[in-house]
Chain A
Amino acid sequence: MYVAVKGGERAIDNAHAWLAEERRGDPSVPELSVAQIREQMKLAVNRVMAEGSLYDPDLAALAIKQARGDLIEAVFLIRAYRTTLPRLASSRPVDTAAMAVDRRISATFKDLPGGQVLGPTFDYTHRLLDFTLMAEGEPPAAAALPLVAAVSPQRDGGDCDPASRVPHVTGFLNRDGLIEDAAPEDSPPPDLTREPLELPAGRPLRLQAITRGDEGFILSLAYSTQRGYGRTHAFVGELRIGHVGVEVEIPELGFAVEIGDVELTECETVNQFKGSKTEPAQFTRGYGLVFGQSERKSIAMSLVDRSLRWRELGEDDTGAPAQDEEFVLYHCDNIQATGFLEHIKLPHYVDFQSELELVRKLRAEARAMKEAAE
């Protein structure tokens, strides 16, 4: 009696029990707390919040712990939680010029109003393993912390108060008409998580998709534009990281109330543009905005954004992947991608059986024809 096809239920229960044990690892090693992950794995927490589209450092840290450090799995846990949350209100657009900046740099101007603020960056660290971090027991002395010790913040403008308004670099260029206008838009943006994706997607929807898209995928696409597949000629006009207040209009009160703040990374690129049949020579813009400190992602996002704007600027379609809206938007979501990729390990007995029958039939017919011919 053949019974191996039975027993799925028990197998699942056992697999889950084993998984829980593996997640905990060696019980003689103290368990990680969610607070430890939130505080000491902050960039991983940021990535999970950005790609999970949910700003909640505690839940993102919990997801990382539950996912055993698999960040895409953690993003997935956050997405599956987020999707059940009711939509109570829409916030007003955040004012990034009022950001309390921890970091603010421009690659296009040596000095500018608001100053250059390096902030906590890896940029100028030497990538040497710091074995003092490995020493157990004693926490490393503050002076030995590499993230703040490697560079010292250089703030121009002397009495610059980081909480005061920091104007955007692109605004300076705009005064001379050197960069395209980006007029404020009042129409509510579409919501990718509430409406099915329809093409062609406008820029707001594209940006929304890219900001929650997979960091690796967006990075590689952006890189491909730098290497000639839909060239973007980008300069980082400005990159800023810091906290901004989130305000919600309360209809009963008739005014907006700040309900909290979020950490954001904003990147504005200034792109070379020689002009086209329809537009005069002018700098153009690419834009990136991501939850948390996510520099790589926000720079990559602004390059891909710029690349996708070829049609509106009258540029040529060179057939580059980063110019192809449908290709980018349909493949940037790592939860969709990993789900469909990994589903091929599920049973496909039935389909495979039908293929088996077909191949046998085709082979039998071919054999019969060959014999008939001989």
Chain B
Amino acid sequence: MTDQAYNFAYLDEQTKRMIRRALLKAIAVPGYQVPFASREMPMPYGWGTGGVQVTAACLTPEDRLKVIDQGADDTTNAVSIRKFFQRTAGVATTEHTPDATVIQTRHRIPETALKAGQILVYQVPIPEPLRFLEPRESETRKMHELEDYGLMHVKLYEDIARHGTIATAYAYPVKVEGRYVMDPSPIPKFDNPKLSGNAAIQLFGAGREQRIYALPPWTEAVSLDFDDHPFQPSKAPHDCDLCGAADSYLDELITDDLGGRMFVCSDTDFCAGRRAAGHIGRLGAAEPEVVP
């Protein structure tokens, strides 16, 4: 492949304009799923084609890009997407959340609070929060039009009746500015509170399903719940074994076949930053390890 054969950030300018129009509409109607003519991308559907198209449409040569998957900069797909934009757009990249102007993410919101001017781009597999209650797109679009979310409340109620609690742990639906019920992508519900009132622009791209939606800065996104069963974010009841953080989302690692476990921050940049600042967890060393 000759890199010169492709436009800045891969997509041609006409396609970018089409995506930007969809983005503007999405920003104007928070939580509403805007259909867009998603293109084939050089990575498969399911790998983040929606997010990649949104990022490509947002990037300028001056941007500094961060890409995370499962909270980490070093997971294979994050590396691959970061390399893709290094190659096709030549933009600067960073792993440091505050330094990034555009952050593409899969399944997490960074622990470090985002600030005005930053764009967080989510990769979305199934944009429709009602999909597993009603499989037909023609039906669910009508339900959104009519603000008919009874089915969702019945589902949550049945969860409580059956399990005593709402049995949704990730991709936990939110109601945006009192109007559209929105799927926040498969982030753990621990991250849901960060969706609401965030200073950054939050953009959601679903490539295979051809939908874009958005949360403009300072938009209210309320996790669905009942007065007597309020929403509860959850995480593993531990501190990070490397940096000691008690308030970050943790990955569970199996360290041996005798039931040994360790818990570490899913957000690798957050964890490394804490360790660099001298925080040490149960099994941690003072300095982040050097990757060979």
Q: When the two chains form their complex, are residues B74 and A8 in contact, meaning their CB atoms are under 8 A apart?
A: yes
Q: Are A357 and B72 in contact (CB under 8 A)?
A: no
- Bound form: Cα–Cα A218–B6 in Å: 33
The CA-CA distance from A10 to B76 in the complex, in Å, is 9
Does the CB pair B253–A2 fall under 8 Å?
A: yes
Partner pick for A351 among B76, B138, B188, CB 8 A cutoff: B188
Are B235 and A351 touching (Cβ within 8 A)? no
Shortest Cβ distance from A214 into chain B, in angstroms?
A: 14
Q: In the assembly, what is the distance between CA of A336 and CA of B7, in Å?
A: 24
Residues of B within 8 A of A276 (CB): none
- Whether the Cβ atoms of A351 and B169 lie closer than 8 Å is yes
- Let me know if B44 and A349 touch, CB within 8 A: no
Q: Is A354 an interface residue (CB 8 A)?
A: yes
- Measured in the bound complex, the distance between the Cα atoms of B236 and A357 in whole Å is 6
Complex CA gap A330/B41 in Å reads 18
Contact B283 A2 (CB under 8 A): yes
B156 at the interface (CB under 8 A from A): no
Closest chain A residue, CB of each to CB of B263: A353
For the residues of B in contact with A, the DSSP-based class is loop
Contacts of B164 in A (CB 8 A): 362, 365
Task: For B45, give its contact among A1, A335, A355 (CB under 8 Å).
Answer: A335
Q: Which residues of A contact B262 (CB under 8 A)?
A: 2
The CA of A356 and the CA of B252, in the complex, are separated in Å by: 10
**Does B210 sit at the interface, judged by CB under 8 A?**
yes
CA distance A336 to B125 in the complex (A): 11
Q: Tally A-B pairs: CB < 8 A.
A: 165
Q: Report the Cα distance A8→B69, complex, angstroms.
A: 12
Range class of the A interface residue count? 35 or more
CB distance from B126 to the nearest CB of A (A): 9
Give A residues with C-beta under 8 Å from B: 1-12, 76, 79-80, 82-84, 86-87, 193-200, 326, 330, 335-336, 338-344, 346-351, 353-358, 361-362, 365
4 closest A-B pairs by beta carbon, nearest first, are A343-B46, A339-B45, A339-B44, A196-B35
23 CB < 8 A contacts A-B: A1-B285, A7-B292, A76-B44, A80-B41, A83-B40, A84-B10, A84-B11, A194-B37, A195-B37, A196-B35, A326-B136, A339-B46, A339-B47, A342-B44, A350-B107, A350-B108, A350-B170, A354-B188, A357-B234, A358-B167, A361-B234, A362-B165, A365-B165
Residue positions of B touching A, CB distance < 8 A: 6-7, 10-12, 14-15, 18, 35-42, 44-47, 49, 69-72, 74-80, 107-108, 125, 136-138, 163-165, 167, 169-171, 186-190, 208, 210-211, 234-236, 249-253, 255, 262, 264, 266, 268, 283, 285, 289, 291-292
